[in-house]
Amino acid sequence: MSQAQKLPVIYVRGFAGGQSGIDSAVADPFLGFNAGSTHIRIGPDNKPSFYQFESPLLRLMVDEGYQLLVQGNQETYLDTHAEVPAHTIWIHRFYDPSASTWGGTPKEFRVEDAAQDLLELIDELRAKAHVDRVHLVAHSMGGLICRCLLQKLLPERGIEPTARVAKLFTYGTPHGGISFDVGFGMLERLRDAIGINGADIFGRERMYQYLTPGATPGAEPPGNWDPRAMPADGEPFAFPRRQVFCLVGTNPGDYDVAHGLSSAAVGPRSDGLVQIDNAYVPGAFCAYVHRSHSGRYGLVNSEEGYQNLRRFLFGGLKVESALVRYRLPEEENTVWQAEVGLSIRGLQIVMHERSSDQWCPIQLDGDTPSGADDERAVPLVSTFLCENLASPNGAGALRYALHLRVLSLRERDNGFLDFRDHIERTADFDDILIVDVSGDAGVPALRATWNSDIVGPISDYRPAGLELADDDPASGRWISYIPLPESTTTILGEDARIRLAVSDWS
């Protein structure tokens, strides 16, 4: 299992608001990428427990050997050095020209200007680090600046985006804009018309202008335009969506107290500022974590965010899991949902979590496949394997736990939920797939067992028996199908399987 190449990492921060917010933001030398935390919600009685997360900035330096070359002034350092190492971290300080604290007249902030400055920083690093590309890591609006670069600026200059950027990771970026659960659209129209503190950049019209090649000021989007969408693979100047990872927050309750009004307006199905459905690019990798947009329980300063970031940037293998070949019972007025969670041995957090309690279960399609060969797939979770993260106690193997629950909701003829036979928080199927991964030279060796088949604690379990076989050697990726326990036959059918697909990610 080989690791991905170490490339320069550029961090792009989020929206600061008005002048006072901008002035406050530029006072931070690392614009929030250095913010850690000491709180994690795993304690008894739902009380915060002490957990020291050092910050993604420090952890990349400690875990991956990255360097921070500021020495008083990042820009001056670059100007006075002909070469810099590739494994370095850089901060895109796009708000500096708009701050009033340096003296002079602040420059009005524009997404397009920030994207142009980002391109200049990338080209300087490419030349001085002797690399072709960089990694972009962005929080909130920073992801829109990166997309402006990838979708508008580079195509308008005839430059392939993949010639400048290797991977894009976004924390809580409003890829679909910011909308509200109240006001019937009036709040959005008022925001976009007045543009208070520049917040109109999260509206459809302004997003269309800075995300679309050739779009001019005042241009209006077509009625079917989706701001979340990036050009499909194969289209001219398309940045591959599979090189994008979106971390989605599902906890509005812990958003900063000062943002309580925003959290109430956006609604519960959000991270407190960005609604779940607006926080990802369709076709990109995603992970859902129970974290807020910012604050002490925020996405950026979380172990969950960092572990997903590290594996996406530096993992050697990509593992994708899906529920396939399932057939739901043909019952009228019944809706089926799946809940999933991904945990990794040695980590004190859940890497990915979609549940009804957090407003983001997976909705299962009740349509029956048309034939026996129809492998309808419902993606469950994708993750990335880092060889150097294998547990020494597991004989060099990585151990993952995929928690799968299937639940049914029944409706009456009038459309209301029927609770007569309902038992709250009780799943029709609930089990955990324990997957042990090892291998050499990029060739995976996997064993998988359902928790219901393990006798005793999972921590004492040692994988035995034959390794999973590659069921499709001609596909160019390693694929294996794992039958579900017999108890699911009447729910998901006899042919239901968990499909694991492993491919090179280095």
Superfamily of domain 9-314: Alpha/Beta hydrolase fold, catalytic domain (3.40.50.1820)
- Is 493 or 465 the better-scoring residue by pLDDT? 493
What percent of the chain has pLDDT above 90?
Answer: 69
Give the pLDDT score at 157. 97
Q: What integer best gives the mean pLDDT of the chain?
A: 89
Count of H-run helices and E-run strands, the chain: 11, 19
CA-closest candidate to residue 429, choices 371, 482, 496: 496
SS3 of 101-127? CCCCCCCCCCHHHHHHHHHHHHHHHHH
Please give the Cα distance from 293 to 298 (Å, whole number).
5
Decide: 239 and 151 in contact? Cβ < 8 Å: yes
Give the pLDDT score at 334. 85
Give the pLDDT score at 374. 54
What is the per-residue DSSP string for 198-220? GGGGGSHHHHHHHHSTT--TT--
Q: How many CB atoms lie within 10 A of CB 218?
A: 7
Q: Which of 89-103, 188-202, 209-223, 338-352 has the lowest mean pLDDT?
A: 188-202
Mean of pLDDT values over 473-487: 90
Residue 191 has pLDDT above 60, yes or no: yes
Give the pLDDT score at 394. 47
Give the pLDDT score at 9. 98
pLDDT digits (tens, 9 = 90+) for 400-435: 999 999 998 887 666 666 666 666 668 999 999 999
Give the pLDDT score at 120. 98
- Is 216 or 182 the better-scoring residue by pLDDT? 216
Q: How many CB atoms lie within 10 A of CB 92?
A: 24
pLDDT digits (tens, 9 = 90+) for 370-393: 444 457 789 999 999 886 665 444
- Is 472 or 244 the better-scoring residue by pLDDT? 244
Give the pLDDT score at 43. 67
Residue 145 has pLDDT above 90, yes or no: yes
Residues in the chain: 506
Mean of pLDDT values over 212-241: 95
pLDDT band at 473 (very low <50, low <70, confident <90, very high): confident
pLDDT band at 190 (very low <50, low <70, confident <90, very high): confident
pLDDT digits (tens, 9 = 90+) for 256-294: 655 655 677 888 899 999 999 999 999 999 999 999 999
Mean of pLDDT values over 319-341: 91
What are the residue ranges spanned by the domains of the chain? 9-314, 320-504
pLDDT band at 476 (very low <50, low <70, confident <90, very high): confident
Give the pLDDT score at 370. 44
Q: How many CB atoms lie within 10 A of CB 425?
A: 9
pLDDT digits (tens, 9 = 90+) for 274-284: 999 999 999 99
pLDDT digits (tens, 9 = 90+) for 11-61: 999 999 999 999 999 999 999 999 999 987 766 677 778 889 999 999 999
